[in-house]
Amino acid sequence: MEKLYPESKFIDIEENLKVIRENIAEAAIKSGRKPEDIHFMAVTKTIEPMYINHALENGIDLIGENRVQEFLEKEPDLKLDNVKAHLIGHLQSNKAKKIVGKVDVIQSVDTVNIANEIAKHANNLGITQKVLIEINAGCEWSKFGFDIAEVKEKVHEISEIKGIDIQGLMCVAPICENTADLMQIFNNMYNKFIDIKAENWDNVNMNILSMGMSGDYQEAILGGANLVRVGSAIFGPRIYRDKH
């Protein structure tokens, strides 16, 4: 009955943001960086605009949504001045037209085909769409993302598509039994990020390494992430109202 008690949820959000910021700062320093080197995204899927706006009033300047339709429906109610939005969920080709140009970055480019589709709409609009390349980080249950062994070659292929600007890599890490396995995944991602960066390819800027969620953002930062995507640790457990 969250709607009856928005005030208490507002307070929870403020407290959660404070704790997460402290944790991010601590992990950043441990990893030899500054707290402000880490971009803190609030993942807002299933969350109502009034709560998202509360997070925005409390210093959040980047949100992530999974579904095109949900983002477009909520967008008019969001206070997005000076705030950026990214698409972080799998994008189907028939939805690409609706989202290109509406978000700063599409983080979830997981096939060459969707990159071409995004580029087509970007070119029609006369813009360049920033994207990240999604890696399937050794995760059997995740259907999306390039295999880490093939990603370098795919990044090069996608970089030659006009209308797309590659800004980095993203992954959703599996739930690991132990921290060592998880750290191995983050380290592999970081090594790939550095490896691709060193190629200095035209149209490939390895600026963003997007990894780490509510359960593992500190480990991700220790592993080299500079953008973490945190949802339930800010807003509480998600309540899914529909399935589509």
Ligand X SMILES: *Cc1c(COP(=O)(O)O)cnc(C)c1O
Q: How far apart are CA 93 and CA 116, in angstroms?
A: 9
Q: How far apart are CA 208 and CA 58, in angstroms?
A: 23
By CB under 6 A, residue 25 contacts ligand X: no
Which of 91, 204 has the CB closer to ligand X? Answer: 91
By CB under 6 A, residue 168 contacts ligand X: no
By CB under 6 A, residue 130 contacts ligand X: no
Q: How far apart are CA 237 and CA 228, in angstroms?
A: 18
By CB under 6 A, residue 172 contacts ligand X: yes
By CB under 6 A, residue 89 contacts ligand X: yes
The 10 Å Cβ neighbour count of residue 36 is 10
By CB under 6 A, residue 196 contacts ligand X: no
Kindly state the smallest distance separating residue 60's Cβ from ligand X, in Å: 13
The H or E element containing residue 109 is strand 105-109
CA distances from 47 to 130, 131, 215, 230 (A): 25, 24, 18, 13
By CB under 6 A, residue 86 contacts ligand X: no
Kindly state the smallest distance separating residue 212's Cβ from ligand X, in Å: 8
Q: How far apart are CA 58 and CA 8, in angstroms?
A: 15
Q: How far apart are CA 74 and CA 131, in angstroms?
A: 22
| Contact with ligand X (CB under 6 A) among 9, 17, 45, 122 | 45
Q: Which amino acid is at 189?
A: M
Kindly state the smallest distance separating residue 201's Cβ from ligand X, in Å: 25
| Contact with ligand X (CB under 6 A) among 13, 27, 42, 43 | 43
Which of 103, 163 has the CB closer to ligand X? Answer: 103
Kindly state the smallest distance separating residue 43's Cβ from ligand X, in Å: 4
State whether residue 115 is helix, strand or coil: helix
**Only segment of 112-120, 160-168, 174-182, 227-235 that touches ligand X (CB under 6 A):** 227-235
Q: How far apart are CA 204 and CA 114, in angstroms?
A: 17
| Contact with ligand X (CB under 6 A) among 139, 183, 232, 236 | 232
Residues that bind ligand X (CB under 6 A): 43, 45, 66, 88-89, 172, 213-215, 229-233
